[in-house]
Structure 1
Amino acid sequence: MKRALIVKLGAIGDVIMTVAAVGQLHAQGYAIDWVCGPAVSGLLRCYSWINVIEADDRAVLKGSFPERVRAVGAAWKQLSATKYDLKATLYYDARWQIFTLPVRATRSLTLSHTDRNRRLLPTRPHADEFARALLGWKDTCRDVSLAPHRPDRLPPSPLPPPGARRIAMVPAGASNMVRQQTLRRWPADRYVAIARTLLERGDEVVLLGGPGDAWVREEFTELAGHPRLIDLIGKTTLPELVSTCDTCSLVLSHDTGPLHLAGLSVAPVLALFGPTDPGSFLPRRSGVRVLWGGEGFACRPCYDGQNFAPCESNGCMQSIATETVLQVMDEMLSPGLVAIEAAQ
């Protein structure tokens, strides 16, 4: 059997989009070893066909020199004895190739800003672009994008079956190990307004997010203690977050890691975008809709793959009205629409 080594340590969305591409490689008969960081290793272990090699990416980025040496040395110890048909370090930054320096491989691949075949072209779905680089797909017409590749061994949801219609929301997020990307966030007070309306209608509302999102709880103080408001922020693993979304009638999120986790679920998803291009990052499956704020803005999108514009107004996200979001949510929750999508 052919063997491939993938180096993609994080963030959550990038890893999930890469999984869709690597799944195509596995379908061609490759055994997959994957070097990743602790933040995503639990999710990747939910794919029975991925052998996870965990590396301390935080030490490499932010640790002292001895910590960096230990982290890299631990990865080398696991990798140096294996010969690969392909080793793919799916970064533009050449520094991440340090993990594969002792690895023997017939073919080596990194991303490139100058080689079109190894460059993620703007506005195109990143999952497709990763696949084009990995598999050498010809850059010709394709009318079907890769759907998110759902894990084949998810744990059960930590929640019991819903007693009412269950709606999940991701009111924070948009951060990674390097920085906060606040321009991607829809204002938290608008999530509160949506939650208030849903609770008044008798729906159940679940708040989702990671441990670093605890700050957003203060925004929901007025709703705290409501019997149908369930706070799971920082209380689930990544696989459990996917399973929780499976129990929901709808997930509302802006462009952040949990949006991609919701894309792995079976739930309908409403995604809110502004400075990033949904053409590149939106999960490509049925039941996913997008509202892209800032229509007509000459500066949209402002994310260039590394940085955002020095914007202080966040006008594109601010332009997405609460009333518009509620209207689209109601359309997506309509039994008639669900029946039509199921028939398709």
Structure 2
Amino acid sequence: MRKALLIKFGAIGDVIMLLPAARALYESGAHIDWVCGSMVQPLLECYSWISLLPADDRKILTGNPWERMSSIADLWRRVSGERYDLCATLYYDDRYKFLSLPVRAAKKLTLSRSSRDRLLIPGRNHADEYARILLGKDDGWSPESIAPIRPDRLPGPPPLPEKSRTRVALVPAGASNMLRQQALRRWSAESYAELAKVLLARGWEVVLLGGPDDAWVRPYFESLAVKDCIGALTLPQVIMACDQCDVVVSHDTGPLHLAGLSHAAIVGLFGPTDPGNFLPRRPYVTGIWGGVNFACRPCYDGRNFAPCKHNGCMEQISTQLVMREIDSLLERKAAGLASPPRLILPEV
């Protein structure tokens, strides 16, 4: 049997967008070993066809010199005895090549900004691009051909009680990783709170989703009768919680991609990042891209943002527009109408 080694610690969205390419490798007859970080390990454990090689990514990326070398040496011990047909280190930074130094593989590849064959091309969905790079195909993909790959063994029980009315999940924080905050991705907490008030006034249920580092956003909702699940759920439980919601509203952050693995409709909010790269590619997903007529949009280059102080592209997205798209998705879903992923722009 052919064997492939994928080295991708995180982040959540990157891992989820890599999964369709990994699945295609598996379906072509390859055994999949995946070097992952601690944050995404609980998610990848839900895929029966992936063999995990967990690594202490926190020590490797941010530890002192001794912690880094010790963690890398531990990883080397686990991969050095295997022989692979493909070893893919899916980073641009050449320092990550060090991780695969002892790996014996017929082919090794990394991402490259100087080679089109190994570049995630701007404007193309990263799921498509990972598939192109790993599978060597560049003949185009339809939205349906590269849809998110749902886990095949989610644990139970469901994290939310059975719903008796329309339920909407909001993701008001996030947009950070182990190395940096990316606050420019966020729709403001004030806007999420305003949206929550509108939803509650309709008699709908509102659920807040987020990670342990997102507790700072709670004061914006303290006077509202929302279900606060921030920091309380594992990554698989976030997917199941989204399954129990009718719609998820999120800016470009990890839970947006987790929602893409669920059955819920999605309204994704974008500004400095290109939704063409990141919007989940499945039915009942709408992306709203703020910043119409902004010459600087998108400003994210894959690592950094422009030195922006007012985040005007995200502020251009109104609560009224988000509500309109929530209603549109729910109406189409209730009527059983086809609803491929779509992108809209605010009217200015």
1:141–1:102 CA distance, 2 compared to 1 (3 A)? closer
Query: Once the 2 structures are TM-superposed, how far is the Cα of residue 161 of structure 1 from its aligned partner?
Result: 1.3
| Whole-angstrom CA distance in 1 between matches of 2:102 and 2:295 | 47
Query: Once the 2 structures are TM-superposed, how far is the Cα of residue 4 of structure 1 from its aligned partner?
Result: 0.3
Query: Once the 2 structures are TM-superposed, how far is the Cα of residue 336 of structure 1 from its aligned partner?
Result: 6.5
Which residue does the alignment assign to 2:96? Answer: 96
Which residue does the alignment assign to 2:124? Answer: 124
Paired residue secondary structure (2:249): strand
Which residue does the alignment assign to 2:204? Answer: 203
Q: Is structure 2 residue 26 aligned with structure 1 residue 26?
A: yes
What is the root-mean-square deviation in Å for CA atoms of aligned residues? 1.6
Which residue does the alignment assign to 2:66? Answer: 66
Indicate if the aligned counterparts of 1:86 and 1:107 stay in contact, CA closer than 8 A: yes
**Count of residue pairs brought into register by the alignment:** 339
Which residue does the alignment assign to 1:217? Answer: 218
Deviations 1:81-119 (Å, cap 9, x if unpaired)? Answer: 111111000111111122211111111111111111111
1:159–1:301 CA distance, 2 compared to 1 (3 A)? same
Indicate if the aligned counterparts of 1:331 and 1:337 stay in contact, CA closer than 8 A: no
Which residue does the alignment assign to 1:321? Answer: 318
Deviations 1:264-286 (Å, cap 9, x if unpaired)? Answer: 00110000000000001110111
1:106–1:177 CA distance, 2 compared to 1 (3 A)? same
Q: Is structure 2 residue 277 aligned with structure 1 residue 276?
A: no
| Whole-angstrom CA distance in 1 between matches of 2:202 and 2:45 | 39
Structure 1 residue runs of 4 or more that deviate by more than 2 Å after TM superposition: 139-145, 335-338
Q: Is structure 2 residue 234 aligned with structure 1 residue 237?
A: yes
Which residue does the alignment assign to 1:262? Answer: 259
Could you state the TM-score of these two structures normalised by the residue count of structure 1? Answer: 0.95
Q: Is structure 2 residue 36 aligned with structure 1 residue 39?
A: no
**Unpaired runs of 5+ in structure 1?**
none
Paired residue secondary structure (1:39): coil
Indicate if the aligned counterparts of 1:208 and 1:232 stay in contact, CA closer than 8 A: yes
Query: Once the 2 structures are TM-superposed, how far is the Cα of residue 174 of structure 1 from its aligned partner?
Result: 0.4
Paired residue secondary structure (1:248): coil
| Whole-angstrom CA distance in 2 between matches of 1:279 and 1:165 | 29
| Corresponding letter in the other structure for 1:286 | P
Query: Once the 2 structures are TM-superposed, how far is the Cα of residue 337 of structure 1 from its aligned partner?
Result: 5.6
Indicate if the aligned counterparts of 2:270 and 2:288 stay in contact, CA closer than 8 A: yes
Which residue does the alignment assign to 2:194? Answer: 193
| Corresponding letter in the other structure for 1:140 | D
Which residue does the alignment assign to 2:344? Answer: none
Indicate if the aligned counterparts of 2:194 and 2:319 stay in contact, CA closer than 8 A: yes
Paired residue secondary structure (2:127): helix
Deviations 1:49-70 (Å, cap 9, x if unpaired)? Answer: 0011110111111111111111
Q: Is structure 2 residue 102 aligned with structure 1 residue 140?
A: no
1:342–1:306 CA distance, 2 compared to 1 (3 A)? closer
1:99–1:268 CA distance, 2 compared to 1 (3 A)? same
Which residue does the alignment assign to 2:294? Answer: 297
Matches within 5 A, 1:8-27: 8-27=8-27
Q: Is structure 2 residue 147 aligned with structure 1 residue 150?
A: no
Which residue does the alignment assign to 1:108? Answer: 108
Query: Once the 2 structures are TM-superposed, how far is the Cα of residue 342 of structure 1 from its aligned partner?
Result: 8.0
1:98–1:338 CA distance, 2 compared to 1 (3 A)? farther
| Whole-angstrom CA distance in 2 between matches of 1:283 and 1:177 | 23
Could you state the TM-score of these two structures normalised by the residue count of structure 2? Answer: 0.94
Query: Once the 2 structures are TM-superposed, how far is the Cα of residue 30 of structure 1 from its aligned partner?
Result: 0.6
